[in-house]
C-alpha cells in the first residue's frame, strides 16, 4: 500500500448500535474497492474486521479494526468499532484517530442507545457526522420512518442525500438528491437509470429540503436561493461541504451491505465530501513548559496512540494516528508522556489482522508498530527535539467488578502478570489486589467484557480462574463505653507466663480509626510491656467481634494491671491485651458497619421513577435530582455497597441501556439489625466450613 498525500486520505470510524451491520458494511466497502478478493461474513467468522477468536465465537465485534482501502485516487482508513456498550472504550479511542464518524443504523425506524452514544461521542470529539441507513432489504424496514426518527432524536440538521428505490426484498437502488441521478444494482454492479417517475413528488420535496439546509451555510448561497429559488449542483455541494465541517448538516445515505447496494455511492461520497486531515484545524497539545501548542501536518513528528493489542505473532501492537511530520521504520521516537525514548522497528499499515510493512507513514495516516516497551494507549509519540503531549483520551471508569481466584498453584504464579498485560490492552479494564477483603479484583464496564477477559486469560496465557462476587469490606465497632480485665496466667513447670491489664473501650466518631491511651501510673505494668498490650488489642481488633471483620473507631485506654517479675513477658501481655479487648467489646454493644457509596446516575426522565424506586429497594437514600437538559436527569444518592455489586446490569435493564452512573466510596454506616443478623449468620457458617 503506497504512501498517500494528506489531502487524499480519509479517516472514517464506523460506529453505532450492535447488530446494525457495521462490520458487514466495512467488508462490503473493502470488497467493492478491491482491497479484498473474497467477501467475508460476520456469521461464519470470515469477516476481515472480526478476527479475534472471541469475536468469531460470539459473532460480535469486541475490538476496533483498522481497514484501509483505496477508492478513486484516495485512501480511506475505515475504523470499524464495537457496538456493544461494554466495549465503548474502543469507540472513544477511534474518535481521536478520525475526521468523520459514519453512524450505521438499520432501517427499522428505532434509534438504539448505541446510536445515541456514538452521536454524543462524535459531537464531543468535534468530528463530521453522517448516517448510513443499512439493511433496507430486510422485512419491516422503512427508510422514511427511520429518517423521521433520526430527525426527531438528533434535530433538523439531519438531511437525506439519498432515497431508496423499492423497499424490503424489492430494494434495488438509490436516488442521489445531490446530483439528481438514480442508480440500480444488479449482481453487485451499479447502473445509472432514469429517475423513477413514481418518486418524483418525494424526490422534489426532499431535494428542496436539502437545498434549504445547505443554503443556510453561506450568505451568498442564501441570497441566490432567495432570488432564484434554487442552487446549482456545484453550489449545493459547496454548501454541503461547509455544513459538514461545521456540523450543521448531517447527511443520510442508504443501502444494503448484504446486497452490496449503495456501497459504491457511499465510497464516492466519503472521497468527495468527508474532510481530509488537511482540511481540519491543527491538533492541540501542551509543551514541556505547560504552554498550549498546535501541530499542523508539516510540523515535526507527532502521533497519538489510540489502541494497543497483543498480537500472537508480533507481540504488543501499538496503533497510532500521525498528526504531523512522519515516522520511519528503524528509527527512534520520544514518548512525551513517559519521557522515554522508544526504538521503532518495522512499521506497518494494518488491515484487520494483517500487517503490511512500509518504510514510512506520513501525516494524516494510521499505522502500527510492534514491541514498544513503555508506550500505552493515550500516549503521545513525537520528535524528541520538539516534545508535545496531546490531550489524553478520557476513558470511562470501570463500574462492574468480579473477584478472581486461580484454580491451581501454577495458575496463581501466572495470574498477576497475565492480568497486567490484559489491562495494557484495554484502558477500561483494571485489576488490583484489594487488601481489605483479600481478593484479586478485575473491573470493567460490564459482565460481557469481564467474561471475555476470563476467556482471554485461558486462551492467551493458559491461566484458569474461578470468579465470584467480591466480598464487601464490612467493619465492626462499639457504641458504648465498657471496661474489662485481661488476665493471662499459665504455669507449666519452670518459667510461666503472666500478664494482667485493665482496659476501657470508648467509641470514637466515624472514620477516626483506632487510638491507644496509656494511663498506667505507679508502674502497675512495666513500661516495656505497654506496647505489648497495644499490640494484643490491635490483633484482636483485626479478627472482629461479631463476624470476623476488623474493628474501627475505638479508643482503648489501658489504666491498670499487674505483673510478675519472672513470668511476665511481651507475649503474655499481648495475650492479656487480646483477652481484655474481647471481654470489653462484648459489653460495649458491638455493631456491624457497611461501606456507603455516593452515586451519580444519569438517565432519561421517563426512567427516573423506576430508578428511584430501585434505589429505595436497595436501601438507598436519594440526596437530590438535577435536570441536565436533553430530557435527562442526574440523581445523587447514598447506597450500601452490598446492594450495588451488579448495578451496571440492573441499570442497563431498568433504563434500557440509556443510563450511566459513577460510584465512589463515601463513608461507613451502621448496618440495620435485620441485615446484620444475616451477615453474622453467613460469617458463622463460613467459619464452620473452613
Task: Note the pLDDT tens digit of each residue in 362-393.
Answer: 999 999 999 999 999 999 999 999 999 999 99
Q: Considering the domain boundaries, does residue 466 fall inside one?
A: no
Q: Are 465 and 453 in contact (CB under 8 A)?
A: no
pLDDT score for 3: 80
**Residue that terminates a domain, selected from 429, 461, 493:** 461
In a domain, 553, yes or no: yes
Cell of 87: 466495549
| DSSP β-ladder status, 347-351 and 340-344 | unpaired
Residue 567 shares a structural domain with residue 483: yes
Pairwise CA distance, residues 178 & 236, whole Å: 7
Structural domain of 406: 400-461
Taken in order 64, 66, 72, 73, the sign of the CA dihedral is positive
The stretch 140-147 carries a mean pLDDT of: 94
Q: Is residue 683 part of a domain?
A: no
pLDDT in tens, 66-125: 999 999 999 999 999 999 999 999 999 999 999 999 999 999 888 899 999 999 999 999
In this structure, the answer to whether residues 488 and 612 fall within a common structural domain is no
Q: Would you say residue 255 lies in a domain?
A: yes
Q: Which of 530, 556, 588 delimits the end of a domain?
A: 588
* Domains: count for the chain: 5
CATH label of the domain that carries residue 450: 3.30.70.870
Residue 349 in domain: yes
DSSP 8-state code for residue 251: E
132 with 21, same domain: the answer is yes
Residue 412, classified by CB atoms within 10 Å of its CB into exposed (0-12), middle (13-18) or buried (19+), is middle
Q: Do 266 and 308 lie in a common domain?
A: no
pLDDT band at 1, cuts 50/70/90? low
Confidence label for 210 from pLDDT (cuts 50, 70 and 90): confident
Mean pLDDT throughout 456-461? Answer: 90
Is residue 416 domain-shared with residue 345, that is, in the same domain? no
Give the model's pLDDT for residue 234. 81
What is the pLDDT at residue 226?
Answer: 81
pLDDT value of position 312? 62
Q: Tell me what pLDDT residue 235 has.
A: 81
Examine the domain organization and report whether 455 and 507 are in the same domain. Answer: no
- Say yes or no: 144 and 76 in one domain: yes
The rounded mean pLDDT for the chain is 92
pLDDT of residue 45: 78
- What is the band of 219 on the pLDDT scale with cuts at 50, 70, 90? confident
Enter the DSSP assignment of 229.
S
37 and 50 fall within a common domain: yes
Contact predicate 160/206, CB 8 Å: yes
Per-residue pLDDT band at 228 (split at 50, 70, 90): confident
Domain of 339, CATH number, reads 2.40.30.10
Q: Residue holding cell 442521489?
A: 176
| Residue at grid coordinates 485516487 | 73
Predicted TM-score (pTM) of this structure: 0.89
Residues 203 and 141 in one domain: yes
Are 274 and 267 in contact by the 8 Å Cβ rule? The answer is no
Position 685 in a domain: no
Sorting pLDDT into bands at 50, 70 and 90, what band is 549? very high
Task: Please compute the mean of the pLDDT values over residues 411-424 and round it to a whole number.
Answer: 91
Alpha carbons 184 and 174: distance in angstroms, whole number: 7
Co-location of 301 and 252 in the same domain: no
Single out the residue of 190, 424, 197 nearest to residue 311, CA to CA: 424
Neighbours of 634 (CB within 10 A): 15
Using the 3D structure, point to which of 390, 422, 447 is the last residue of a domain. 390
What mean pLDDT do residues 529-541 have? Answer: 97
407 and 317 in one domain?
no
pLDDT band at 690 (very low <50, low <70, confident <90, very high): low
Q: What are 651's three cell numbers? A: 441499570
Confidence of residue 627 (pLDDT cuts 50, 70, 90): very high
Per-residue DSSP letter, 256: B
The total of other beta-carbon atoms located within 10 Å of residue 521's CB is 8
Residues 269, 140, single domain; the answer is yes
Amino acid at each position: 500500500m503506497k504512501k498517500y498525500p494528506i489531502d487524499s486520505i480519509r479517516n472514517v470510524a464506523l460506529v453505532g448500535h450492535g447488530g446494525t451491520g457495521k462490520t458487514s458494511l466495512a467488508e462490503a466497502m473493502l470488497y467493492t474497492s478491491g482491497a479484498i478478493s473474497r467477501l467475508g461474513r460476520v456469521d461464519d467468522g470470515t469477516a476481515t474486521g472480526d478476527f479475534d477468536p472471541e469475536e468469531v465465537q460470539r459473532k460480535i465485534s469486541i475490538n476496533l479494526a483498522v481497514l484501509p482501502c483505496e477508492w478513486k485516487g484516495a485512501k480511506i482508513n475505515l475504523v470499524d468499532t464495537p457496538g456493544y456498550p461494554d466495549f465503548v472504550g474502543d469507540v472513544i479511542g477511534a474518535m481521536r484517530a478520525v475526521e468523520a464518524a459514519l453512524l450505521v443504523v438499520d432501517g427499522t425506524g428505532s434509534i438504539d442507545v448505541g446510536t445515541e452514544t456514538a452521536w454524543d461521542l462524535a459531537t464531543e470529539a468535534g468530528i463530521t457526522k453522517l448516517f448510513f441507513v443499512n439493511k433496507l432489504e430486510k422485512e419491516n424496514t422503512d427508510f422514511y420512518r427511520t429518517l423521521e426518527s433520526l430527525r426527531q432524536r438528533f434535530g433538523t440538521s439531519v438531511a437525506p442525500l439519498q432515497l431508496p428505490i423499492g423497499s424490503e426484498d424489492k430494494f434495488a437502488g438509490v436516488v442521489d438528491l445531490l446530483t439528481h441521478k438514480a442508480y440500480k444494482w444488479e449482481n453487485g454492479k451499479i447502473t445509472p437509470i432514469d429517475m423513477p417517475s413514481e418518486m418524483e413528488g418525494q424526490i422534489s420535496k426532499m431535494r428542496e429540503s436539502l437545498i434549504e439546509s445547505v443554503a443556510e451555510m453561506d450568505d451568498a448561497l442564501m441570497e441566490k436561493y432567495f432570488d432564484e429559488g434554487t442552487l446549482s449542483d456545484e453550489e449545493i455541494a459547496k454548501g454541503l461541504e461547509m455544513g459538514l465541517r461545521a456540523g450543521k448538516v448531517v447527511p443520510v445515505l442508504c443501502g444494503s451491505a448484504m446486497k452490496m447496494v449503495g456501497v459504491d455511492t457511499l465510497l464516492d461520497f466519503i472521497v468527495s465530501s468527508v474532510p481530509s486531515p488537511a482540511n481540519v484545524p491543527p491538533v492541540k497539545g501542551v509543551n514541556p513548559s505547560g504552554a498550549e501548542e498546535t501541530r499542523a501536518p508539516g510540523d515535526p513528528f507527532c502521533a497519538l496512540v489510540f489502541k494497543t493489542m497483543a498480537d500472537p505473532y508480533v507481540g504488543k501492537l501499538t496503533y497510532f494516528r500521525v498528526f504531523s511530520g512522519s515516522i520511519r521504520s528503524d528509527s527512534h521516537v520520544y514518548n512525551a508522556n513517559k519521557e522515554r525514548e522508544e526504538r521503532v522497528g518495522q512499521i506497518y499499515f494494518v488491515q484487520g489482522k494483517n500487517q503490511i510493512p512500509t518504510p514510512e507513514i506520513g501525516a494524516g495516516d494510521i499505522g502500527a508498530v510492534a514491541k514498544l516497551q513503555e508506550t500505552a494507549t493515550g500516549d503521545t509519540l513525537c520528535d524528541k527535539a520538539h516534545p508535545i503531549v496531546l490531550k489524553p483520551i478520557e476513558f470511562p471508569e470501570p463500574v462492574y467488578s468480579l473477584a478472581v481466584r486461580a484454580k491451581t498453584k501454577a495458575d496463581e504464579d501466572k495470574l498477576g502478570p497475565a492480568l497486567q498485560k490484559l489491562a495494557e490492552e484495554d484502558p477500561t479494564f483494571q485489576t488490583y489486589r484489594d487488601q481489605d477483603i483479600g481478593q484479586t479484583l478485575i473491573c470493567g464496564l460490564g459482565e460481557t467484557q469481564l467474561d471475555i477477559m476470563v476467556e482471554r486469560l485461558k486462551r492467551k496465557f493458559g491461566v484458569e480462574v474461578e470468579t465470584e462476587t467480591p466480598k464487601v469490606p464490612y467493619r465492626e465497632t462499639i457504641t458504648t463505653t465498657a471496661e474489662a480485665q485481661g488476665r493471662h496466667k499459665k504455669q507449666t513447670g519452670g518459667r510461666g507466663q503472666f500478664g494482667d491489664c485493665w482496659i476501657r473501650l470508648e467509641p470514637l466518631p466515624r472514620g477516626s480509626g483506632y487510638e491507644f491511651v496509656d494511663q498506667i501510673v505507679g508502674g502497675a505494668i512495666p513500661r516495656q510491656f505497654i506496647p505489648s498490650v497495644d499490640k494484643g488489642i490491635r490483633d484482636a481488633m483485626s479478627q472482629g467481634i461479631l463476624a470476623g471483620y476488623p474493628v474501627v473507631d475505638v479508643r482503648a485506654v489501658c489504666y491498670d494491671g499487674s505483673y510478675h517479675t519472672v513470668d511476665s513477658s511481651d507475649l503474655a501481655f499481648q495475650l492479656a491485651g487480646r483477652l481484655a479487648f474481647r471481654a470489653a467489646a462484648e459489653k460495649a454493644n458491638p455493631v456491624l458497619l457497611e461501606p456507603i457509596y455516593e452515586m451519580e446516575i444519569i438517565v432519561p426522565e421517563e426512567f427516573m421513577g423506576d430508578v428511584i424506586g430501585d434505589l429505595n429497594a436497595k436501601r438507598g437514600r436519594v440526596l437530590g435530582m438535577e435536570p441536565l437538559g436533553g430530557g435527562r436527569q442526574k440523581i445523587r444518592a447514598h447506597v450500601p455497597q452490598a446492594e450495588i455489586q451488579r448495578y451496571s446490569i440492573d441499570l442497563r435493564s431498568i433504563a434500557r441501556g440509556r443510563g450511566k452512573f459513577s460510584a465512589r466510596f463515601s463513608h461507613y454506616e451502621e448496618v440495620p439489625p435485620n441485615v446484620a443478623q444475616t451477615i453474622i449468620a453467613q460469617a458463622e457458617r463460613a467459619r464452620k466450613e473452613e
